[in-house]
Amino acid sequence: MEHQSSYDVVVVGSGGGGFGAAVTAAKLGLRVVIVEKDAVFGGTTARSGGALWIPANHHEPAAGYKDSAEAASLYLREEVGDFFDADRIEAYLQTGPKMAKFLEDETEVKFFPYGLPDYHSDYDGAGQGGRPLVCHPYDGRNLGKNLRYLRPPLREITFAGMMFSGSQEELKHFYNFTRSLTSFMYVTRMFLRSAWQILRYGRTVQLKGGNALIARLAKTSFELGIEIRLSSPARELVIEDGAVRGVVIDGPKGRERIMAKKGVVLAAGGFPHDPKLRSQFFPRDPDGTQTRSPAAEGNTGDGINLATSAGGAIRSDMYQPGALMPISEPILEGGRKGTFPHLVDRYKPGFIAVTRQGVRFCNESNSYHDFVIAMTALNEGSDPGVYIVCDHRAMRKYGLGFVKPFPVPYGSQLRSGYLKRGSTLRELAAAIGVPPDALEKTVARYNEGARNGQDPEFGRGSTAYNRFLGDVEHKPNPCVAPLEEGPFYAVRIRMGTIGTYVGISTDRNARVLDGNGKPIPGLYAAGNDSASVFGGYYPGPGITLGPAFTFGYLAAHHMAGKALLAEKTGG
């Protein structure tokens, strides 16, 4: 027998976009329920760095950054070119700072401006830091018994259960663990604190990045009386007289019809784990089985499928179908393959990337999105045989993929085959199946310039973004050093995505549009369920969560009858 309940707003999905819409709606006086497919809340946001790209945000002036919406618009026009969606981008730039201020004023969320520049920091209008807002760490014990339901961080990017904030200062201490007493004490304290927390609570409770962001939002949600239904996938929309009136879920107590007086928000995280949709929209993954993703496993296109069932249109006219990420596959406990996103090693001095022909193909210190685009340009499908290569000095100082820096042992990754090693470059070439002469020539050519901190072939270290993620203590170029000290190591890289850009067509107030560009009454979308506002480009850090929260915020105001933006003619 089907149960029935009623709320003002039903939010499908508990990632950043979902929580953002939910807490805003609740603050505007609406009664809200979140329905979540998985047994934990937080979606991919809880696994992410948690940054929101918000140009001209309220923290920038005090941090010394000069910025404006006009500068950001100039940057985006150069960045996305013909894909520039003036209406939605204007809505985003106009509303984003208000949304961020609202979160800090009305919820547990507390931000600080991160110094990471925009990904194409040499473009006109690019931010040189301050646009990404990152959440302050949070004590998970504030969630009480609900901490057990917070999605844990991605196993592959933690160490002994510890989460990392991504700050250069924190990483520097780990790199200098055996070289500096200050760093040794810093890391030791962090390790002991984490070990005690795991013994006491079963997980680290000092939360950082996206885990802290979701925990803060969840704390506010519980205080506001927002109900969160876990293990409750949305199966269909309730449609009456052409309007969406609610959802049907399969919950722990059986099937339930949940009516929504004001609207339904689809924020189920896109389709990074759905082979059928990947095969349809990822041209280099024709069978949908090759693209790897560290996103939440439950993100299988539920929101998109619900939208299309109500007549919603899908926008696939994207420069790229998703946010691309180089992925390697370490062997974890029980022999299962992990999914490791390469966010650190490529930028550091002493690393290069080579093709199966043993030659370099790009600036390894460019953004992860650009790096994978360069991989796809090799026209060898989703597995072009790319390896990241380094020498012994670089690997032991910075680590390589899942392999941690000295003094952490790495024998198990050698034995599993994840990490390849050769005492000479020729031996390494044989181990990874590339022509030995070609690899030797590639490294020799690279080393010739690298000894002077130069990369004539690809200009590595030439932008503020490149340099920020390098090793600032390495001179003269924080991204460039020769590969000279054997043995040499390599890890194979595959094409991955951290989220999808193809998605539901929406307007400036996050309303779902049909094939004629008309809004479907009662239906909204935010986050990766909604088509990328940047047309499949990746302008800077936090460009997934920034729009997710902003358009969730706009959707909540529209549902409450307090729309912040005027509707376009015919919309």
The pLDDT score that the predictor gives to residue 164 is: 58
Does residue 38 register a pLDDT over 80?
yes
Residue ranges of the chain that CATH labels 3.50.50.60 = 7-158+208-321+501-566
Q: Is 181 left (phi over 0), alpha (psi -120 to 50) or beta?
A: alpha
CATH code of the region 326-497: 3.90.700.10
Mean pLDDT of the chain: 92
Q: What are phi and psi of 134, to 5 degrees?
A: -120, 145
Edge-first strand listing for the sheet containing 132-135 = 52-53, 132-135, 111-113
Superfamily of domain 7-158+208-321+501-566: FAD/NAD(P)-binding domain (3.50.50.60)
Using a pLDDT cut of 90, give the percent of the chain over it. 82
pLDDT one-digit tens code per residue, 302-359? 999 999 999 999 999 999 999 999 999 999 888 889 999 998 899 999 999 999 999 9
Angstrom distance (rounded) from CA 364 to CA 483: 14
Does residue 487 register a pLDDT over 50?
yes
Does residue 189 register a pLDDT over 80?
no
Hey, what are 52's tokens?
A: 């929101």
What is the CB neighbour count within 10 angstroms for residue 288?
17
The pLDDT score that the predictor gives to residue 161 is: 55
Angstrom distance (rounded) from CA 342 to CA 492: 11
The pLDDT score that the predictor gives to residue 570 is: 44
pLDDT one-digit tens code per residue, 354-412? 999 999 999 999 999 999 999 999 988 777 889 999 999 999 999 999 999 888 899 99
Does residue 1 register a pLDDT over 60?
no
The pLDDT score that the predictor gives to residue 349 is: 97
Residue ranges of the chain that CATH labels 3.90.700.10 = 326-497
Does residue 537 register a pLDDT over 50?
yes
| Stronger pLDDT, 158 or 369, i.e. the higher one | 369
pLDDT one-digit tens code per residue, 438-456? 999 999 999 999 999 999 9
Please give the model's pTM, rounded to 2 decimal places: 0.93
Does residue 89 register a pLDDT over 80?
yes
CA distances for 14 relative to 197, 217, 560, angstroms = 25, 10, 20
Among the residue ranges 194-198, 217-221, 260-264, the one predicted with the least confidence is: 194-198
Kindly state the helix (H) or strand (E) to which residue 395 belongs, with its residue range. helix 392-398
Does residue 174 register a pLDDT over 90?
no
